[in-house]
């Protein structure tokens, strides 16, 4: 029997607040290197579904992450369709959109819906399991990839397997159960229940049919958002009004808990959703004392801890079972056993209006990034990095002037229609109200210091007149 092509639907629009302060709304965990492999979990997911039996991936993400997704695809040399959600509507909307697009490409399409922020070490077994699940999906089943529990965890939903489907580890799905308490989880473990990974393999036509049956409003909204979608550069922008009208719910609630066509395959691969810092500690490389040390760390008499720092020196003495994570503007310290409460902490920070809850100091843009160095009354200082070929929008400001000092590379500056080149250790002044653009024509990254002075220095004091990234 010839193996059918499986279309990957990669869901990459989540926020990942449980790994704050490294993961935030402005740059969530799926796009960040969390392990020592040099890849983001999104990139690792792409590599697992590269080549036969998998086809061209469809990546469904938030519009804010479009350039990060494109850049990380390009870094791997992988081509894919990038579909932009105008807002987060949970997994049911993403699966509906993905199924409809996959069916447009191939009426008999088999798809695998994957979260972009999971870690799977054994790619070979993952691919084999997907192939087995795809064969079962071709018979009309919607297969869930279930995970054999390693402990009685209360952090996951569970699946009760039913009657055997013939293939090893495959069975009808008897029922889903919500996250249990610890005692109930122990009972589930003893009865052979599986963790719900949230990854599915299905015929696009079957999934569309079950959505029509159980969640017609979700399917209708997804279809309308595709029909009215616009192409923006290499992106497919779903229609905001149509997509925003879709009910916000998971595919589990919308379809999987109601359908009679659900099956489950007990996965043969290891798996982690990196749901909290203690989960990362469990899978990451450790030293002889059981510590995960990432970044500039010095630890004495420290055991079974996770210590991570972006760039500042982080030190520890005589601690055990601790999580300490330092970024440029925030530090998290917690017992490892309390790591699951980080999401509640982030919600409290947001309620207090703390920008650190959602935004990094370093903000990524399609042309590179900028990072705030200092902020005060009537001034702001930024470090700006423009990659080779990068070009900022032609813009102006109503409330601030700017002074650019080039530290590395060559800046091509357009100022009120006049183009000049500013080299290392040179500067240029941009008065309030002038039209200006910054570009990097060189072979190396352009780095400069920007000093803003004025009554207001917020990012919303930017009027874009032209933009090669279609943001004007």
Give the residue among 372, 93, 148, 377 at the shortest CA–CA distance from 272. Answer: 148
CB 447 within 8 A of CB 407: yes
Task: Give dist(CA 140, CA 262) in Å, integer.
Answer: 9
CB 185 within 8 A of CB 193: no
Give the residue among 308, 238, 251 at the shortest CA–CA distance from 96. Answer: 251
CB 55 within 8 A of CB 9: no
DSSP codes joined into one string, 67-96: HHHHHHHHHHT---EEEEESS--HHHHHHH
Q: In what order do the strands lie in the sheet with 322-326?
A: 292-294, 306-309, 322-326, 331-335
What is the number of alpha carbons within 13 Å of residue 88 lying toward its C-beta? 11
User: β-pairing, 306-309 with 292-294?
Assistant: parallel
According to DSSP, residue 114 is labeled: E
CB 452 within 8 A of CB 401: yes
Residues 6 or more apart whose CB falls under 8 angstroms from that of 77 comprise: none
Q: Nearest 5°: phi and psi at 92?
A: -60, -45
466 preceded by cis ω (within 30°)? no
C-alpha distances in Å from residue 342, one per residue of 20, 117, 399: 7, 17, 38
Specify the pTM.
0.91
Residue-wise pLDDT tens for the chain (472 aa)?
A: 456 799 999 999 988 899 999 999 999 999 999 998 899 999 999 999 999 999 999 999 999 999 999 999 999 999 999 999 999 999 999 999 999 999 999 999 999 999 999 999 899 999 999 999 999 999 999 999 999 998 888 888 899 999 999 999 999 999 988 888 888 989 988 899 999 999 999 999 999 999 999 999 999 999 999 999 999 888 999 999 999 999 999 999 999 999 999 999 999 999 999 999 999 999 999 999 999 999 999 999 999 999 999 989 999 999 999 999 999 999 999 999 999 999 999 999 999 999 999 999 999 999 999 999 999 999 999 999 999 999 999 999 999 999 999 999 999 999 999 999 999 999 999 999 999 999 999 999 999 999 999 999 998 999 999 999 888 7
Show the beta-strand stretches assigned E in 1-122.
Answer: 6-11, 58-62, 81-85, 110-115
Helix (H) or strand (E) holding 158, with range, is: strand 158-164
Enumerate the β-bridge partners of residue 457.
Answer: none
């Amino acid at each position: 029997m010839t193996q059918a092509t499986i279309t990957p639907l990669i869901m990459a629009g989540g926020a990942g607040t449980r790994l704050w302060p490294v993961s935030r709304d402005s740059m969530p965990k799926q796009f960040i290197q969390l392990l020592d492999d040099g890849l983001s979990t999104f990139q690792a997911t792409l590599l697992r579904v590269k080549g036969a039996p998998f086809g061209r991936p469809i990546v469904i993400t938030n519009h804010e992450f479009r350039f990060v997704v494109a850049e990380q695809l390009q870094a791997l040399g992988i081509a894919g369709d990038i579909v932009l959600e105008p807002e987060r509507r949970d997994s049911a909307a993403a699966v509906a959109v993905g199924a409809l697009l996959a069916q447009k490409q191939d009426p008999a399409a088999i798809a695998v819906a994957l979260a972009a922020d999971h870690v799977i070490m054994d790619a070979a077994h993952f691919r084999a399991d997907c192939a087995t699940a795809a064969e079962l999906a071709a018979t009309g089943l919607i297969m869930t990839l279930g995970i054999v529990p390693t402990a009685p965890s209360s952090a996951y939903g569970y699946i009760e397997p039913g009657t055997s489907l013939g293939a090893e580890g495959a069975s009808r799905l008897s029922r889903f159960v919500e996250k249990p308490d610890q005692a109930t989880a122990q009972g589930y473990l003893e009865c052979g229940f599986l963790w719900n990974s949230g990854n599915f393999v299905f015929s696009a036509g079957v999934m569309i049919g079950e959505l029509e049956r159980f969640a017609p409003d979700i399917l209708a909204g997804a279809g309308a958002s595709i029909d009215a979608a616009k192409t923006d550069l290499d992106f497919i922008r779903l229609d905001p009004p149509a997509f925003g009208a879709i009910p916000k719910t998971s595919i589990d609630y919308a379809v999987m808990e109601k359908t009679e066509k659900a099956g489950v395959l007990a996965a043969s691969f290891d798996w982690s959703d990196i749901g909290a810092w203690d989960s990362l500690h469990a899978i990451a490389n450790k030293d002889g004392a059981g510590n995960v040390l990432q970044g500039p760390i010095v630890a004495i008499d420290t055991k079974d801890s996770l210590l991570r720092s972006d760039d500042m020196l982080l030190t520890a003495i005589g601690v055990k079972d601790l999580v300490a994570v330092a970024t440029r503007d925030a530090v998290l310290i917690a017992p490892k056993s309390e790591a699951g409460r980080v999401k509640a902490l982030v919600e409290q920070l947001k309620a207090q209006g703390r920008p650190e809850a959602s935004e990094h100091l370093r903000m990524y843009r399609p042309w590179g990034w900028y990072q705030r160095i200092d902020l005060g009354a009537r001034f702001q200082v930024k470090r700006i990095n423009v990659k080779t070929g990068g070009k900022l929008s032609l813009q102006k400001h109503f409330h601030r002037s700017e002074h650019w000092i080039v530290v590395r590379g060559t800046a091509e500056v357009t100022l009120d229609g006049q183009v000049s080149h500013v080299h290392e250790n040179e500067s240029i002044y941009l008065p309030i109200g002038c039209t200006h653009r910054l570009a990097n024509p060189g072979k190396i990254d352009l780095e400069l210091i920007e000093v803003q002075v004025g009554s207001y220095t917020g990012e919303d004091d930017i009027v874009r007149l032209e933009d090669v990234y279609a943001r004007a």
